[in-house]
A and B are shown apart, each in its own frame.
Chain A
Amino acid sequence: MRRAQTGDEDAYARLLALLTSVTRQYARGKSGAVPWVEDVVQETLLSLHRARHTYDPSRPFAPWFYAIAAHRVVDVYRRERRVALREQGTDVLPEPVTMRRIDRVGEVDMDAVRAALAALPARQRDIVEGLKLRDESVKELAHRLGMSQSAVKVTAHRGYQALKKLLGVKPL
């Protein structure tokens, strides 16, 4: 550690590699074979790195190192407990939202959508079709229509609102 404080990279790398297994054993000794032992190892190495200027070379290394490791074990334990209290484990993953939307395409009356699109003012229709059907970007549309990107976004938003009204879509 003394050599690491002077910037000796080899000594520092050897020390950190050695402390990896020492911390793992220490964390296992404190908390058993829990899945977050490797988190403790990494958090301890990070803390040690941030606190390396506080090590007094005239004093033994172990109390300094184990004080850091002990606190990191407690911190990670508390964090994991908080997560465990707030999150619920499940074997069945919820159906992704995008999948549901794709499934619903079949339920949409495409003739009504086409009619609603045709009823939009020309510029709004061009922008909505460009963004949703022709995969054009806001930047490309702004460049092609000679508008600012914000104006394209505002027009698109108004177009979507008009389409919703024409199709009788209720807000979610």
Chain B
Amino acid sequence: MSHEHLIASLVSQATPVRPLAAPRVRMARWMVCAVVVVGLGITWRGLRGNWAAAFSDPTFIVTTMLILIVAMLSAWVALTLAVPGALRSPLVKWLPVAGLGAWGAILMQQVATTGSMASVLMSEPFVAACMWKTYGIAVGPAFVIILLAQRAAPLDWRWTASLAALSALAFGVLGTELICPITRYAHVFNWHFLPVALMTLAAFAAGGVVARR
């Protein structure tokens, strides 16, 4: 097809379009949805019995705030990244990853204080229920944020998909942190942190497949 024919064809389809809302507006809408889902999850499974003790633990407060920041930051970056040229610096997309890394580092440091890190992590009982809680809470917000990103025009599907997934997973794990009464850091690392990190990597790979299609 010649350029002239292509232009004529595109012009013939040039119906009026409503410009997309700003990423912060779309993020705010999504946050409302995510907070409602987390609230429903906590209501359904019940707030952890030892919540008073948890909220007096500085490490718990710091990691919970960090997860919330990662959730909001990754949602904002994912939705901004979905609009061509809107993200001023490509380095910004590493910030949520740095936040996730910081959470993992804090947990590892806490695990290391209880003994040899490898043996503590390996001897931690198998409690996959926490992983399923996280995924269960995250699936709705993940679906919504991917739809929101897709409604824009993502050029970099790897980063958009992985950060969208990370934002939903961070909200999911925030819910799990408020439900799960287990205070061992090895448990939190194995069954709260790792499922989020691994699923984010899986979303990065899936985004690569979408980009190639």
Q: A: which residues have CB within 8 A of B?
A: 4-9, 12-13, 16-17, 20, 38, 41-42, 45-47, 49-57, 63-68, 71
A38 to B22 CA separation, bound complex (whole angstroms): 33
Cβ of A64 and Cβ of B13 under 8 Å apart? no
**Dominant secondary structure of chain A at its interface with chain B:** helix
Of the residues B1, B3, B16, contact of A5 by C-beta under 8 Å: B16
Chain A CB within 8 A of B6 CB: yes
Query: How big is the B interface, by class?
Result: 20 to 34
Could you list some 11 contacts between A and B, CB below 8 A?
A13-B11, A16-B10, A20-B7, A38-B3, A49-B14, A51-B153, A54-B82, A56-B20, A64-B85, A68-B155, A71-B84
Interface string of B1-32 (1 = CB under 8 A from A): 10100111011111111111010000000000
Cβ of A5 and Cβ of B17 under 8 Å apart? yes
Cβ of A71 and Cβ of B11 under 8 Å apart? no
A17 to B4 CA separation, bound complex (whole angstroms): 8
Cβ of A66 and Cβ of B85 under 8 Å apart? yes
A118 to B46 CA separation, bound complex (whole angstroms): 84
Which residues on B sit within 8 Å (CB–CB) of A56? Answer: 19-20, 22, 83, 86
| A71: nearest chain-B partner, CB-CB | B155
Cβ of A49 and Cβ of B13 under 8 Å apart? yes
Which residues on B sit within 8 Å (CB–CB) of A50? Answer: 153
Cβ of B84 and Cβ of A53 under 8 Å apart? no
Cβ of A47 and Cβ of B6 under 8 Å apart? no
Contact status of A68 and B11, CB under 8 A, knowing A20-B3, A47-B153? no
Chain A CB within 8 A of B124 CB: no
| A11: nearest chain-B partner, CB-CB | B14
Cβ of B155 and Cβ of A17 under 8 Å apart? no
A54 to B152 CA separation, bound complex (whole angstroms): 6
CB-CB contacts below 8 Å: B105-144 with A: none
Cβ of A9 and Cβ of B11 under 8 Å apart? yes
